[in-house]
């Protein structure tokens, strides 16, 4: 079992996926386990609460209340809240519709599709980007995602020493884009406004402040180009264009490697 103390002492080897749950002591008290409760239900409830209320409000007690069980009941299945968060991250990665990179389609199709799906998942669950790097991410869904990424990047024809950089360029870009987008949507919701209302108010605020007038002048043509479009449409188009830039960069590096 991975205790909180063990996590702090040796984080590089601490993961809920490295536990031997079958060896957990106390199995003779099975009669005390609540009926109908299992790890999957706990994790699904945690994901739902994280989506609705955010990281700050998640606790073992909050999850137990939602499941109508005692907080101590959860400890039959997990040792710490960190276990639940690590399991929740992997459950979210399970939402990615992974395809077979070796199905004969061009690697560009697979790369664009997976990067777009990755962005959508992170926007849908904005708490994930905040904590994903706190864990080893060796759960089955996380590993399947990583393996799919590596197969796609290998299919580009890049030499091995260049593949990690290409992976970072595309998927760290998608991660950063989705993090900013997801947190923007959260901020809008917290303010009681839609993204379109928030964006409109922000533009008005800039235009009403003399000291910010110069900054607005620099992007007036950009603002005009987006006139009449929703924030969601702007985000989508910006992502697609930026992803095209990333793919074009990979293509150029492949040509250089071949040359």
Quote the pLDDT of residue 22.
Answer: 39
Check residues 28 and 215 and name the one with the higher pLDDT: 215
- Residues 117 and 191 occupy one common structural domain: yes
Task: Specify the pTM.
Answer: 0.89
Q: Is residue 196 part of a domain?
A: yes
Quick check: is 101 in a domain? Answer: no
Residues 79 and 118 in one domain: no
pLDDT level of residue 27 (50, 70, 90 thresholds): very low
Q: Per mean pLDDT, which range of 100-104, 217-221, 222-226, 237-241 is the poorest? A: 217-221
* Each residue's pLDDT tens digit, 34-57: 778 999 999 999 999 999 999 999
Residue 215: pLDDT over 90: no
Q: Which of 50, 42, 49 is nearest to 80 (CA)?
A: 42
Q: What is the mean pLDDT of residues 4-23?
A: 65
Please check whether residues 148 and 72 belong to one and the same domain.
Answer: no
Q: What are phi and psi of 15, to 5 degrees?
A: -160, 145
- Please say if the pLDDT value at position 82 is more than 80: yes
pLDDT score for 214:
72
Residues 231 and 126 in one domain: yes
Range of the domain at 139: 107-258
pLDDT in tens, 137-184: 999 999 999 999 999 999 999 999 999 999 999 999 999 999 999 999
Tell me: do 226 and 123 sit in the same domain. yes
Own/partner contacts of 130-138, CB < 8 Å, gap of 24 or more, are: 130/55, 130/179, 131/55, 131/85, 131/89, 132/89, 134/85, 135/15, 135/85, 135/86, 135/89, 136/12, 136/14, 136/15, 136/17, 137/89, 137/90, 137/93, 138/15, 138/17, 138/18
Residues 122 and 209 in one domain: yes
Count up the domains in the chain and report the number. Answer: 2
Report pLDDT for 20.
59
Tell whether 214 and 145 lie within a shared domain: yes
Both 135 and 242 in a single domain? yes
Banded model confidence at residue 33, pLDDT cuts 50, 70, 90? low
**pLDDT confidence band for 28 (50 / 70 / 90):** very low
Question: How many angstroms separate the CA atoms of 145 and 203, rounded?
Answer: 38
Q: Give the model confidence (pLDDT) of 87-117 as tens digits.
A: 999 999 999 999 999 999 999 999 999 999 9
Can you give the pLDDT at residue 44?
A: 98
Residue 246 has pLDDT above 90, yes or no: yes
The residue length of the chain stands at 259
124 vs 74, 183, 241, CA distance in Å?
26, 10, 21
Percent of the chain with pLDDT over 70: 89
Domain with residue 214: its CATH number is: 1.10.357.10
């Amino acid at each position: 079992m991975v205790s909180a103390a063990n996590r702090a002492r040796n984080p590089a080897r601490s993961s809920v996926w490295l536990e031997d749950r079958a060896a957990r002591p106390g199995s003779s008290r099975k009669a005390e386990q609540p009926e109908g409760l299992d790890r999957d239900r706990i994790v699904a409830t945690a994901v739902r609460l994280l989506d609705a209320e955010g990281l700050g409000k998640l606790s073992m007690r909050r999850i137990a209340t939602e499941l109508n069980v005692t907080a101590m009941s959860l400890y039959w299945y997990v040792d710490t809240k960190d276990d639940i968060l690590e399991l929740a991250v992997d459950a979210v990665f399970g939402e990615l519709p992974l395809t077979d990179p070796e199905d004969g389609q061009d690697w560009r199709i697979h790369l664009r599709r997976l990067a777009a799906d990755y962005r959508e998942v992170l926007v849908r669950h904005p708490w994930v980007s905040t904590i994903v790097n706190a864990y080893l991410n060796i759960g089955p869904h996380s590993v399947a995602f990583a393996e799919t990424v590596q197969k796609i990047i290998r299919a580009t024809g890049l030499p091995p020493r260049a593949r990690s950089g290409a992976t970072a360029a595309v998927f760290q870009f998608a991660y950063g884009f989705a993090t900013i987008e997801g947190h923007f949507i959260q901020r809008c919701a917290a303010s009681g406004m839609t993204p379109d209302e928030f964006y409109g108010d922000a533009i008005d605020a800039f235009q009403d402040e003399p000291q910010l007038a110069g900054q607005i002048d620099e992007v007036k043509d950009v603002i005009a180009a987006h006139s009449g479009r929703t924030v969601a449409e702007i985000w989508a188009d910006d992502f697609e264009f930026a992803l095209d830039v990333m793919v074009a960069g990979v293509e150029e590096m492949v040509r250089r490697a071949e040359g």
